[in-house]
Each structure stands twice: as structure tokens, then as C-alpha cells.
Chains A and B, each alone.
Chain A
């Protein structure tokens, strides 16, 4: 595979601060006052994992820094509080009309003429994960070309009666869902399986951060370069009714991305990019907000831990709750989750000790587990334990027609045992 000959990402950006904010949070500090948000629509260029470049369309954030200021795919992660009034102004820097919509939030759909702005005002909906995108003309075209991002709505009443924080407004859930969500988040830090005491609880990301140590946003997508080739910088998209009249049937993607990166480019996080990789200790449960803005049906498979499926959108058109976000009464523990197009899922990675590491050695008379031996530095295999996450609909593990695993493949890391972060920090 031909590869670009450089990778100019600052190594300084890779160092992780001890216990406080990780470096990507400082990047997002510009996201203050998120109840009055100003976005722009502009041309951007993306360098794919094999070095080829494609043109894309991106959102930029007025008042943002780095890539967010000039335009990035995906757009900035916006965080608002449930029930707050939100104003979003979108300026269209391009030479053709664009649209804006937050799926599942009434009153957010608008059209923006070339060179002008449009403002939407709405009350932040029930807590959860939402997709904003350009749906002008009800085509997925602009969405797959890069005009997509995530809005996170934080709960007003997210704390269980036992004091555990959750991502949902418990008073707005049906009793069965409230019970299930509470049981799970109350179990964190307090059971044999999920240890850690108060530190073992889930902690939401700050309102002014795109992501945090305990919360990541993943935006799955796919790229078919023949569609991107329609974009000429500074001009309207080239007319190609043959292609664009039926985007889904003509879509033959050859790059599969999370936060617009794939394969080797996902092996670590870099300055200015929306972070992907979880690097945590046992007992640091982490929330993934995963959405699929692409057109392929993905099957995201995590190694190392099963994840709890917290919330999803009902995508079955025959269902009475079609289009609604569901916080289930029945929270499955899965190693593979269905990410169909426009699905939005919240999943909890518990950061439990990977359960099948020999836990009773010798097997006939327990004297201790291999993981504890690793923590005690009595074992051969070192930390970090690295576990891959990949799409199991395997075509999307490729890039440019082959090159496994340069597609939708990344990983997460177990840095060490319970309380390890505090020990490192001293």
C-alpha cells in the first residue's frame, strides 16, 4: 500500500496528564456558552490512510481553535443541558444551498442560502445522543460528504437515588428503564465484578469538552471517493444526476472511518482531532456515544470486555416507537452491536478485568489470578493490554479494496489494575 511519507502529528499531544483533564479537553475549552452556537459550512480536505486526498464538506466552529476553527469532519461535539434554550446559527460559506437538521429534534430543520446564515432556536430535548447534519433535499449526499456531527444533551436529573450519575434523566424514563439504568450504574464501583468504590462510578464529560477520559464520541462513516470527486473547492458540487439521484444504490465505499480516520491513523489520538482511543485502568467505566452517519450497516465488535447497550434509536419503520430514542428496560451485554445507518447508541465499557484471563491458578485450588500477578509485576505479559474494536461486517475493515486492517479498526487499552491512575499520580 502506498503511504504518505510523513505523519506530522505533535508527539506532545500524545502525553496523558496524570489524573486531571486529558489534553483534548483543553482543545475544546473554546466551546463555552454552547447555548449560543455559531457554525460554518465550508470545504475541507481529508488525507486518507493510504495518502490519497479527497475533498469533503465540513462544519467549523466560530470561536473554536485549530481544526475546529477552519473546518473539520466530523463537526464539533456540541453539549447542552436538557431543557435549556439553544440557538444555533449556521453560516454557509459555500456557493450552493445547504441544510441543517438535528434528527429527532422538532423545529431544527432549516435551509441556508449560499453566503448567508440561518438561525434555529429550540429547547434542548431529552438527554441523549443526537446527530446534526445537512439533509437538504432529503438526500444523504451532504451527510456522507462530511456535513455531520453529534449533539450531546446532558440530563437534568441524571442521578440515581443511590447517588450514581447516569447519562439519562431518570424522571423521564418509564419505571422499568429507570430501574435497569439505576441497577447498572449503582453496581459500578460497588460489586465484585465492578470494583473501585466512589472512583469506580461513571463520570460525565464536562459541558465544555468534546470528550473526556470516561466518555468518547465515535462517528462511523464510509467514503466512496467518486462522490467526493464531485466537490470542487469554492464551487457548487458538480452535477451528476446518475450518481446523486440514488446515492444508496450507487454507493460503493472503499474507506471506513471513525471520526474521519481509519486503520493505522486510528492507532492513537492527535491534536485537533476528535479522540477515539480509551486508555483507562480497571474500575474506570467509560461511555461510548457511537453513531453511524454512513450508509453501510456496521457490526462494531469489541474485544476485551462486553459492553452494556444503554440507548438506541428505534429504526424499525413498522414499530410504534419508530424514530424515537429508546433507553431499554432490558440492557443487553454484548460484544458486537448493530450500527445501522443513522443509528445512535450509547454503550458502557465497564473496564472490568477481562473475565477470561485465568482467574483461578492453579485451576483446582485457587491461589490467585493471573491479572493480579500482572498488577504485582509477577507476570510475563505486561500492561497495557490492548484490545481491538473493529467492524465485523468485514468489508469495512479494508481500505482501497484490501489492506486489512486499515479500515474501521481501532483499539482500547487497559493501563493497569484498580486504582492504577491514582498510584501513577502519586
Chain B
């Protein structure tokens, strides 16, 4: 553990609401084979909390609703020992765009696993179903939060300032992962700008291994190739004003945040150009293999997606598998466009050995992404050779 000021172990027994000794005596379940965590317990963060200084018991007013919201470094209520531990910092990430310009972004850093690396999207949080997860946020450049999107913990661990608090220096978020699937995490401070700046990353919950292999969800399909396609769009004006003022617009300014005109379009952090293959994000699979694509719309556009040539199946939506008595996998025929709203995830399985796809072996199939304006539904910057809101990559079998 790096630079921990509070340590677990001996003090754990007094943590949260655990009966004395419970935390100290338990043996920690091991991390899953794909986990990106370090083994818990990590930092001790239990103790008393003054809820009246937060949105939980503080009186909500117009003033503290957004502008002068609750902030601090409270202890984690009902702190209990974690077996999966993460630390996230806030750092600058400069991305060189296809027009040669550098765009200032922000990302979460991972000082334990990837110190100093600038990453967009932010480093993956990957845990196993049942893990007790602690994510320690170390803020800088003012307050931030982490909302683990689709994960449903208590209000205090949900990362929304006006109903809880924003993190001044540090806080340890606590949850226990229940559903195996695809989630993400992002800053929920002045979300409109902080999410746009790039303060987000994927969060994946794996099921427990079955016969040594990790399926998509418990009892679900196994896969041979896994790819993350996270689609984003960026308006350089927004990046400029947010980098200058991390609270931009919060307290009465008209910052023009109702107007979003993106110029840059990215697949999993790779800037794209219309009609140019995004080579870095292409998929190559062998005949008979199963491909799992975790698709997230992290843009502020209506995202239209179209798989040429291949039949695909949606097996999970927003981290909840389509295996309930009231749902089933959704098959999408080759060449059929579908749309995703901002923040939605589809887990897409491509069985290259299926009857529909068998005959597609030996070919390369395009996958098209179109970013449509949130009011007019027109593709952004239509016809522009540099800035048009279209991108494509490929799947080769």
C-alpha cells in the first residue's frame, strides 16, 4: 500500500457497525482472476460521521443545491473490511486530436497499479461478484466525487454532492458487487463538465469462474475475445472553460452549457476521423470463437451503431443479464442500426460459429458509429472530412 495514513489490521475491529473481532478474524476471499484491484483491506476509514454537514441530514436549500454544496472528508459509514481495494486520483490528460491540436482532458489515475500513466478512459475497475469493494478517491483541483454508475450502494457511497457530499481530499467509497456485468464510474461533481472532461472509466463485475473460465455472467456464455468500445465526443470549448474554472457555471454564470457542439469523436480513448479505420480498436477473432463487446455510450450524442455482415446478440443491458423470466437475449440482424442513449451499456456477444455467422469467416466486417445531435438528430458536422461525427472499426474472422 502506498502512502496510507490510516491502516487497517488491528484497528479494523472498531470499524463501522461490526461486532468486535469480526473484521479482524475473517479470512479475505481471493480476488478474481481478472481483477484490477489490490487485495484488501486497504485504508481504514471507519469512525464517527457528522451527517448534518452533508446532504444526508443537512438542510437542503437553494444555495447548497449546486453552487455551495456539501463537501468534506467524512469517514465511511458502516465501514467494513474490503477484499478489493482501489485508489483513484485526478490528473490532467492531454490528447492529441486528428487535427494535430492537443485537447486538455482530465482522467482518474491509478497510483497503485499504473502510477503516472495518463489514461483515457480512466483505468478499469474490475472486480468479482461478491467482492466487498473500497474505492478511495483522492481529489485534487478542487472537489470531485465518484459515482459508480449502475452500482446501487447507500446514498453516502453514491457520489452525488447535493444528497451527500463532494470529496475535498479523500473518501473511501464502499459497495459490494452483486450483479456481474458492465458498469462504469465517473465524477458526479458539476457532472455536465467533469464527465465531459474524461473523468470516467469502465467498471466490470465478473462472475466467479466456472471450471476455470470466467463467463459473461453466472451461468452465462464463455468468450474468447473481449473488447471495450467506449464512445465519446468532445467539444473543445467545454474543455477550455472547464480547465480554467473547475466550477464553471455552478453559481449563476451562463457558461453556455446548454449548447454542445462536439468536434472530436473517440473510441475507447482513440481519436477517430470519418472514413478512416480506427485500427487500434479493431477486433480479430478465429473462426468458432466467441467475441464479447462491452459497449458504452459515454458521449452526449444519440449514438447509432451498426454491425455490417454479422449477427450479434445483446446478452446484458446496463449490467443486468438478459436471463430473467421476463427477458431473453436480443438478436440483431446484420446491417440493422440501433441507438444507445448516453450512459447505456450493451454487452454484445458475437458467436462466429453460429449458423448466421459461419459463412462470414475469412472476411472483415465494418462496425459503424454515428454521433447524432441531441436535439436535431443530425450527424455532427456532416460532410466535414475532419470533424464529421462518424467513425468505424472492423471485426475480422
State the A residues within 8 Å of B (CB).
1-3, 7, 180-181, 183-184, 187, 248-249, 251-254, 263-264, 267, 295-299, 301, 303-306, 308, 329-340, 354-365, 367, 370, 373-374, 378-382, 385-388, 390, 392-398, 400-406, 411
Docked pose: A387 CA to B77 CA in angstroms: 17
Whole-angstrom CA separation of A187 from B324 in the bound complex? 11
Known: A180-B326, A251-B375, A398-B258. A3 touches B154 (CB 8 A): no
Given contacts A333-B320, A392-B341, A403-B250, contact A359 B260 (CB under 8 A): no
**Does B367 reach chain A (CB closer than 8 Å)?**
no
Query: Does any Cβ of A come within 8 Å of B23's Cβ?
Result: yes
Which residue among B66, B147, B326 has the maximum number of chain A CB atoms within 10 Å of its CB? B326
Select which of B28, B62, B160, B344 is within 8 A of A264 by beta carbon. Answer: B62
Residues from chain A with a CB closer than 8 A to the CB of B375 are 248, 251, 253, 295-297
Q: Are A356 and B151 in contact (CB under 8 A)?
A: yes
Contact with A along B5-32 (1 / 0, CB 8 A): 0000000000011110011001111000
Given contacts A357-B176, A404-B250, contact A364 B29 (CB under 8 A): yes
Q: Contacts of B150 on A, CB cut-off 8 Å?
A: 306, 335
A296, A335, A382: which contacts B318 (Cβ < 8 A)?
Answer: A335
CB atoms of B300 and A393 under 8 A apart: yes
Of A7, A336, A365, the residue contacting B343 (CB under 8 A) is: A336
Q: Number of A-B pairs whose CB atoms are under 8 Å?
A: 271
Given known A-B contacts A254-B258, A336-B342, A363 and B325 have beta carbons under 8 A apart: no
B176–A397 CB distance below 8 A:
no
Is A362 a contact partner of B81 (Cβ separation < 8 A)? Answer: yes
A382–B164 alpha-carbon span in the complex (Å): 12
Question: Distance in Å from the Cβ of B33 to the closest Cβ of chain A?
Answer: 18
Residues of chain B lying within 8 A (CB to CB) of residue A301: 149, 343
Q: What A residues does B81 contact at CB under 8 A? A: 362-363
A400 to B258, CA, bound (A): 8
A401 CB, nearest partner CB in chain B, Å: 3
Docked complex Cα distance between A403 and B256 (Å)? 10
Q: Are A403 and B78 in contact (CB under 8 A)?
A: no
Q: Indicate if the CB atoms of B66 and A358 lie closer than 8 Å.
A: no
Separation in Å of the A105 CB from the closest CB of chain B? 26
**Residue among A1, A254, A297, A304 making CB contact with B152, cutoff 8 Å:** A304
Tell whether A401 pairs with B162 under 8 Å between CB atoms, given A392-B343, A393-B341. Answer: no
Say yes or no: B342 contacts A402, CB within 8 Å: no
CA distance A340 to B341 in the complex (A): 9
* A362 and B300 within 8 A (CB): no
User: Could you list 15 examples of A-B contacts with CB < 8 Å?
Assistant: A253-B375, A263-B66, A298-B341, A299-B343, A301-B343, A357-B154, A358-B78, A362-B22, A364-B29, A370-B17, A382-B57, A393-B374, A397-B191, A398-B258, A404-B192
Inter-subunit contact B328/A330 (CB<8 Å): yes
With contacts A357-B153, A359-B178, A396-B258 known, what are 18 further pairs, Cβ within 8 A? A253-B258, A263-B65, A295-B375, A297-B341, A299-B344, A354-B152, A355-B178, A355-B179, A357-B152, A358-B176, A365-B26, A370-B154, A378-B17, A382-B57, A395-B192, A401-B254, A402-B249, A404-B191
Q: When each residue 176-197 of chain B gets 1 if its CB lies under 8 Å from chain A and 0 otherwise, what string results?
A: 1111000000000011110110
CB of B163 within 8 A of CB of A386, answer yes
Residues of chain A contacted by B149 (CB below 8 angstroms): 301, 335
B138 is an interface residue with CB less than 8 A from chain A: no
**Given the contacts A333-B324, A402-B254, A382 and B56 also touching, CB distance less than 8 Å:** yes
Q: For B179, what are the chain A residues with a Cβ–Cβ distance below 8 Å?
A: 355
A398 in contact with B326 (CB, 8 Å): no
Residues B162-212 near A (CB distance < 8 A): 162-163, 174-179, 190-193, 195-196
Do B377 and A297 touch (CB < 8 A)?
yes
Taken together as a complex, chains A and B put the C-alpha atoms of A211 and B149 apart, in Å, by: 29
Closest to A185 in B: B326
Interfacial chain B residues near A338, Cβ < 8 Å: 339-341, 344
B252 interfacial by beta-carbon distance below 8 Å: yes
Known contacts A180-B326, A356-B151, A393-B342; decide if A363 and B319 are in contact (CB<8 Å): no
Which chain A residues border B51 with CB–CB below 8 Å?
381-382
Q: Known interface pairs A356-B153, A403-B250. Does A370 touch B80 (Cβ–Cβ under 8 Å)?
A: yes
